[in-house]
Amino acid sequence: MKTPVLFSVSGDASDYEPLFAAARERGARIGWLELDGAAARRPMPEGLPFTGAFRTVEVSESWTVSTKPRKGPAVLRDLLREHFLGADVVLVRGIDLYPKLARRDDAWDLEEAAGRKLRLSTEALLDRARKPELRWRDTKEAAK
């Protein structure tokens, strides 16, 4: 599986709309992963028949909602494989990892490692995100 580039972000998804729009124009796929988000703390939606099902999927005209029980903490590798297969980039809120991405006026601050910061236009950021060295590597997988 080709893993996406993960950028640790803060703020709301709307802060990254210029990046989403530019990616759509280029045919790039950017996902948003909210770890420990408000939706995860709410009770299960009433309409979903979740009594004993291993997974529940609800489909409307414009959305698909999928739920499943989980034992133990979420595993990032599993989340990427299950929900972001084919994504080029995933913006992850709720985890502190490198590279870190932040919007700054009409540009982006990309901190690839501690003390190594770049200021990039949206186009330059999308170009940089194509570099294989930025792709997320699971330390367990890398050890094999």
48 to 43, 51, 53, 81: CA distances (angstroms): 11, 9, 10, 24
Residue 56: inside a domain? no
What's the rounded Cα separation, in Å, for the pair 80 and 33?
Answer: 9
| Residue type, position 3, single letter | T
- Percentage, residues of the chain above pLDDT 70: 83
36-45 average pLDDT score: 64
Q: What is the pLDDT of residues 91-105, one digit of tens each?
A: 999 988 899 999 998
Record the pTM.
Answer: 0.82
Supply the DSSP symbol for 51. S
Q: Residue 92's domain spans which residues?
A: 5-40+76-142
Q: Domain tally for the chain?
A: 1
For residues 13 and 32, the answer to whether their CB atoms sit within 8 Å is yes
